[in-house]
Every structure is written in structure tokens, then in C-alpha cells.
Structure 1
Amino acid sequence: MERSVCFRPMQSKEKLLEECVSYLRARPVFDRVLRQVREKAESLGHIGGKTIISIRSGAERDQLEGFFQKNLHGKKQLTVSVELLERALADSRFAALSWDEILCAYFGGPFIGKKEQREREESDRNDFFAQYADPSGDIGARFLAEILSGECEGRSLLYAQYRADQELLGQRLRVLIHACDNLPADRGLAQALPVFAAEISGDPHYFDEGTTTDRLLRLFIQKHYGIKRQPSYSDTEWKARILYRAGILKDDLSNTVLIYGIQAFLQDGTRHSGMDGFYRMREPLQCTLQTLYRLERVCGGKDVYVVENPAVFAVLSNRYPETAFVCTNGQLRLSALILLDLLSRESRLHYAGDFDPEGLGIAQRLKDRYGSRLELWEYKPEYYLRARSAENLPEETISPERMKKLDKLKDAELVKIADLIRQYGKAVYQETMLEWAYRNESELQEG
């Protein structure tokens, strides 16, 4: 940069600033110098500290030597401090300028310190959420205010969505507030999830599992109804259970449980006429979540027998027509758990399932859930051994991955069966035991 060695006419600061910026831009190395100086200034909140500039060519060395008046021969880098910057500027014809002014003109605006930037961002974020969250507003707006204050879970999710797309988040929050204010259960209704979503947003998939709106809605429902996590539910079942409490039914027609000999009563105390017809006719019934949601009480007598397999259910309900039976159909769907929860209030449950890792796992989960209200039925090692010796035993060998599921079992009866499965590597299914098991007539009254 030219030295101030002779008299020059006074220039306006604007003109001088233009010349300074032109001078720096004509020498490419200063783009890196100024960018690193600005980054350091943004970190500190003021111009200061030191930054190291690598020297990549002879041309860059000449440009740096000319401005800073330092001999850089043989040097691969230059340490630029605020003192070096100020001294070089004071000795140049641009001495009337400050580095703040130069950086502002060069980059088209003043640098913003990180602290100030954080404060601005926080202020902007607060202004954004103030459009939707209101501690004294409707229930949905109050819920958002509680999230943002840290009173309940979800603030990190909202902040992440805010950083990703503010406009989209705004749309989602408007829909969420509307949903919170119009839960089916609060209106005395039960609705399928797609129907509720379409009613609230116009999109039947708006609250599909895994979406941001699904997560926020479930957080609200848990807070609104004071729902506490129950460990006996899998993650999928628990998510469906939360929605169920709000009258939102997930897979309401496909989520069914097979029943026989069970009476059902509505919330007003009257019998469910449809279910009562099947009960009186002694016929099995596929019971949906939609039906279960309307029930206040179900009754299966003193003892209810729960089986895993539909074929076993059919044989037993025909063999013992005076006894109540439930079939889970190999899975613990929400419908089965809701029904068993209701039955366990008045009846003792008896559960029988397959002797394989998955079947024993279901039995363990039910035992964990219902404790002394559920008895494991016909889990006898001699039944496994007898079935294993039968000619029609499947040749399927249980894989090591499936075998690992046996390690989670705790109940002593189940552990004995698990040890036999490990020993012989074979599963035994309910159908193969049907002719000699499940025939305790002191428990089951044969019709």
C-alpha cells in the first residue's frame, strides 16, 4: 500500500473508502486476510486476536510485504494481529479510516459478534413462537407455551423444526393447536386416525407415525390426560395406546381381537346389543378398537382363557361352550391389550401360547403386565417333550437370532421351556398339543 510521504488534497471519507476497497480487492490475498479477520471479530465481538495467513505463492508474498512492510522471504505463513493491522493502516494513505469501516464496506455490512447474533436469533425465535404459544390462550396454545418454557418435553423438537423451515413449522403449529382443541374423546367421539387427520388438516396422512405432527400430538395427549408410560407395551403399541386415550383409533378395523363367551357393557351401563347377540348365540366375534372404545366394562366370568392360535381357540370354544375365551392371533395388538385390561378387573386370566421364542416372549409380557391376575396355563416341560417326540413335529430349526429372545425370559415356568428349546433347537406349537393339553376339566367345564 502506498506510504503517506507527500501532501495530498483532502478526500471525502466515502471516496477514500472506495479506493481502499478497490486496492484490497485488486490483491486477492487480502480476501482471505479480511475473511479470517472478520471471523475472528465475530467470535470475539470486536476486532482483535490473531489469525494465521498461509502464503501460497510469490505474488501473495509480494502483496503482503507491500502492505504490512515486513520481509517474508522464505516464510510460508504470516501471523496477523490487531497491532499489525493497525500499524499498517496508520502508515498508509488510508489512515483516516478504521478497520471496522473497511470490513463493513468490503463485505457490504457490519460484522455481527456471535453473542449479538445469538441474541438476535433468540429474539427472532421468540417472536416467531409468540404467534402460536400463549400461556393464557386455548389449550393448544397453552401446551406450546409449556413446551417452550421447559415444563414439558418437546422444546428441542420445536427448535430443530424452526431451524429447518419456519414457514412449514408455522403451518404445522396452526394445525396442531386446532387438533389439541378438538380431540375426539373431548367431544365424546371415537375416530379413525385418517378421518381425524383429514377433518383437522384436510390430509388423512397428516398425523402418520414418524411425522413431526404425530410426535407433537402424542406429547400433548400424554400431557392432557396425564398418561404415564407402561413398560409392558412395545413402542408401536404404546404410540397407538396414547392415541386411543384421545379417541383416535389407529388401524381401527384391522386391529381386532377374537372373543367368545364375553359380555360387554357400554358407558351408560347398558349391554352392547351387538356383542350380546354373539354372546347369546354362543358364537365367536372379531372385536375392533372402534367397538372396544365404547365399552366401560366386560365380563367373562371368574376365569377367562386366552390362547395364541385361532385354531386352538375354535376347538376349545366348541369343546367348552360355557367358558370364556380370547384369541390374540399370535400378536399382542392394542385391541387385545385393551380387552384384557378390562377383563382383568373382574376375571382371572389364563394364558397359553406356542412353545417358541416369540410365544414365550408374549407370555412373559402378559405375566409382567398382569402379575397375579394372570396364570400361565399348561406351560409344562412334559408337554414339550411329548410333542417333540411326535412324528408330525415340524423340522424347523430355530435360528441363533431367535434363540437370543429366550434370554429375556424371567418367569420360572417359561425358563424351563426355554431350556428345552435351547437343548433341542425345536419349537412346539399349540396345535400339536391340543389332543392332550388344555383338557383340565376341573378348570374347564366341558359342554
Structure 2
Amino acid sequence: MCSLFQKNKAYTRMFIEMKKKYIKYGKLSGKIFLENLSEAECSALSAVLGRSLLPGDFSISVSQLQAALNETKYCGVELEALVEKYFNEKILSNSQKRDERTELNKRFWDAVLHEAGSRFGKDAKGILWLNEMREQRKYGYQRIIREREKSRDGIKEVLMEVCNALAYLQQREGDRKENVRLAVLGAEITKNPHYFDRQNAAGRLLISALSFTYKIEEPKAQEGVLALYYMAGIAPDDISSYTTCYGIHFYEGDSEHEAYQYFIRKGEKYVLTLSNLSRLARADSSRKTVFIIENQMVFSQVCEEMRGEEYSIVCTSGQLRTASLFLIDLLLKSGCKLYYCGDIDPEGIEIADRVIARGSGQIFPWRMTREDYYRSISKDILAEKRLKRLGKIGNVQLRELAKLLKAEKKAGYQEQLIDLMVEDIKAVK
């Protein structure tokens, strides 16, 4: 029907402009503009319009172009149909594309939820996650959209396996004696031990699903992911996460672990990985009081001052590693009181708040008062971006400290409080 137009490249720009207009507005109307017509384009368009054209800018209304077309052998052919024939494709407007995507999206989610519901039950954690993801467009929604472009059936199967993993973990909750390794979870669910590795879509979506299940923001950093796995009963890489101790007693069953007992007798610090901790039944303090220090250098100095005396001290080394969280939980179960001291800066207060919230009534801020702040205050000016982190502090004492920090806009550091920290520890009977 339009081989004449297709063979003559002088018509190309006119058809491209008509296509753009239809895609944008869903119809051909208004005017078509062509800048700097060439001699060839003038000749080609003149044949259609029945009048001479000169090189330069050119515009014509769609109605004029349709009328001119009706004077040729294409009489009765609509411009929209001619454009589709020219490009050999069904041209959809932006609005039509959106409607089509919406319909495809609805059919996809309906199919996913129907299959998941029939396999796992309407109240399964996986179903709750899928519904939340669909309605709120979070907890992995965008990743699914991207993966769906590659393979609709492929991502649908991934979602079923993630739901399967959630059901498996839920089943283990009641009688869980130890965490299941991530590779074992993959092999158990799919026969592929690497299926839920973080670099795979299934691994990332499992993290999204667990984040929804435990009502936390989806973690991006390694330690946040490890902490999430720990909450869910999954054992990932368990040697890169560690914590450092002094004077903490560890038990295998009813017997004290000889290796750590030896460190205590020698007055030495010792490092435990998450792997070490996962094999221990209990952690305790002879005085039922444990001091937790964020800063490694401060921890080392305090331990030197304590050498030969049995006090219990833990170092978290900045951001909370999963091993530190694991140890804190063990100490809480033993009825210990924990005192946490961090730098008085936005990050330090934020971490302290998280630690204290973990053990209601058993964990307390330590050396993080107004007086301690002014003793440790530095000349470092805090950026507003960092100060914004202080907007959601839960602990009352730390919230007051956060207000002070916002007013002064300067950080306080633990190094200035070492002597006072040593006095506090030695005062414990």
C-alpha cells in the first residue's frame, strides 16, 4: 500500500514526525513541522501536496495532509493506517502503552498470587509479602519488574521458591536448635546451594521478603543483611562477622569452654566469630555486669588498665556486627546488665539506641550524658546531613543528648573519657 513512500527516503522525516505525534497524543492532529527541507524532500512532498515547495522550514496541518492524500491514489486511506503500514507495526500511544502495561501487570500478579495461594495457603508469609509488595510497590517490587522483562515465567518461579523458603523457615521456628546455612537452604528448596546467593535475583528477593517479615528497612550493607539472616534463622558466611571480648565466660552445655577460660586467667582479650558463637550454649559475666565499648582503641586501653582483674568488657568495633548482636542476646539470656558507651556523634548515638532497644530494662547508656558530652566535645563541626540521623532516637536519655548535639553541632569522642570509664568498671562489685 505504501511501497512508494517506503522506497523514497525523502519521506522518512515526515513519517517519523507523524509517528511521534501519534505516540504522544494518541491521534494525528495539529501541525507537523519539518526543519530545513532538502531539495529531495521538497520534490517528494510536492508530489503528494500538488504544489511546489522550496527548501527551508516547512509546516502543514494534519487535516491538510489528509486532504492532499485523498487527492492521490491513496484516497480514503487514513493517515494513522498509512503510518502503521509504513513502519510495519502496530503503533501505540503512550497512554495505550500505559494501559497495556497496567493490564499485563495485573494479569501477572493475579497469576502469581493464585499459584502462591494454592501452594502455600492464603495466610502464608509469602502471600502476605506478595500482597504488600504489589500494593505498596516496595520490598522487591522494582527488581521483579526488571526481572520480568527478561523472563515472566522465570521470575514467577523465583517468587514461588522465595515463598517456599519463607514457609520452610517458619516451619523451623518452633523447634529451631541452630540456624540453617544459606547454602543448605538453597539446596533444600531448589537442589541448588547457590540459589539464594545475594548476587542472584532469588537472593535479593529473599532479603526483601525477610525485611517485610521482620518489619525493617531493607538492608544494603553486609552487616545489616547478616543481622537479618540471623533474625530469620539463617547462617550465612559466619567468620567475617566477629566481636572482641575480655572476661566473658562461655559455656558448651553445662561446662565452661576451656579456651576462653584460659584467656580470662591470662587477662587477655579474645576474638570470637559468629561461627564460634553459634556453637556456644551460654555467655555470662562473673559480676553479672558487662560494659560494651564501641571504639577498638578505647577498648584496648581499658583492657590494659583492667589487666589481672576479672571484669567483663565487649568491643563492637563501630557498626554492630551480627556476632556482637548474637553475644548481646546470650548475655541478656543469662540475666546480665549491659552498659553501652559509644562516641557522642550521630552515628554513635544511633547505634547506642539500637543496642539499648534490644534489651528493654537490661541495657543502659554509659558515659553518654550531658556532662560526658562536654567533657569529650571536639572541634569537629558536624554536617547537617549527619545530624538528620538523630530524628528517630527512641531512648529518652539519648534523645536529650541528640538535642544537645544538634544545638552544638560538634562531636564528642570516647578517648576523652577513658579514665572515667575505668573508674566505672572498677567500681562494680
The two structures have a TM-score, normalised by structure 1, of 0.67
Q: 2:291, 2:312 within 8 Å by CA — same for their partners in 1?
A: yes
How far residue 77 of structure 1 moved from its aligned partner, in angstroms, is: 0.8
Equivalent residue, structure 2, for 1:137: 119
Distance of 2:416 and 2:215 partners within structure 1: 35
Equivalent residue, structure 2, for 1:150: 135
Distance of 1:141 and 1:200 partners within structure 2: 14
How far residue 304 of structure 1 moved from its aligned partner, in angstroms, is: 1.5
**Is 1:327–2:315 an aligned residue pair?**
yes
How far residue 136 of structure 1 moved from its aligned partner, in angstroms, is: 4.4
Equivalent residue, structure 2, for 1:10: none
Distance of 1:79 and 1:366 partners within structure 2: 70
Q: C-alpha root-mean-square deviation of aligned residues, in Å?
A: 5.0
How many pairs does the alignment contain?
397
Q: 1:52 aligns with which of 33, 38, 42?
A: 33
How far residue 40 of structure 1 moved from its aligned partner, in angstroms, is: 2.5
Deviations 1:167-213 (A, max 9, x none): 6635643543443333388363413445544655635484327x643
CA spacing shift, 1:37–1:275, aligned 2, 3 Å? farther
Equivalent residue, structure 2, for 1:27: 8
* Equivalences for residues 209-358 of structure 1 within 5 A: 212-224=201-213, 227-229=214-216, 236-262=222-248, 272-273=253-254, 275=256, 277=258, 282=264, 286-290=271-275, 292=277, 298-300=283-285, 301-307=287-293, 308-309=295-296, 311-312=300-301, 315=304, 318-321=307-310, 323-329=311-317, 332-344=320-332, 346-351=335-340
* Equivalences for residues 74-223 of structure 1 within 5 A: 76-81=57-62, 83-130=63-110, 132-134=112-114, 135-138=117-120, 139=124, 142-143=127-128, 145-147=130-132, 149-150=134-135, 153=138, 154-163=140-149, 166=152, 169-170=155-156, 172-183=158-169, 186=172, 188=176, 189-197=178-186, 200=189, 202=192, 204=194, 206-208=196-198, 212-223=201-212
Structure showing greater Rg: 1
Distance of 1:406 and 1:88 partners within structure 2: 68
Distance of 1:55 and 1:406 partners within structure 2: 56
Gaps of 5+ in 2: 391-397
CA spacing shift, 1:84–1:440, aligned 2, 3 Å? closer
Equivalent residue, structure 2, for 1:8: none
CA spacing shift, 1:427–1:183, aligned 2, 3 Å? closer
Give the AA of the match of 1:53. L
Q: 2:129, 2:212 within 8 Å by CA — same for their partners in 1?
A: no
The two structures have a TM-score, normalised by structure 2, of 0.69
Q: 1:45, 1:114 within 8 Å by CA — same for their partners in 2?
A: yes
Deviations 1:47-76 (A, max 9, x none): 444322334212211221221124434652
Distance of 1:152 and 1:103 partners within structure 2: 37
Gaps of 5+ in 1: 1-16, 266-270, 386-396
Deviations 1:118-151 (A, max 9, x none): 3333333444455543344324752564145315
CA spacing shift, 1:408–1:438, aligned 2, 3 Å? farther
Q: 1:260, 1:326 within 8 Å by CA — same for their partners in 2?
A: yes
Give the AA of the match of 1:88. A
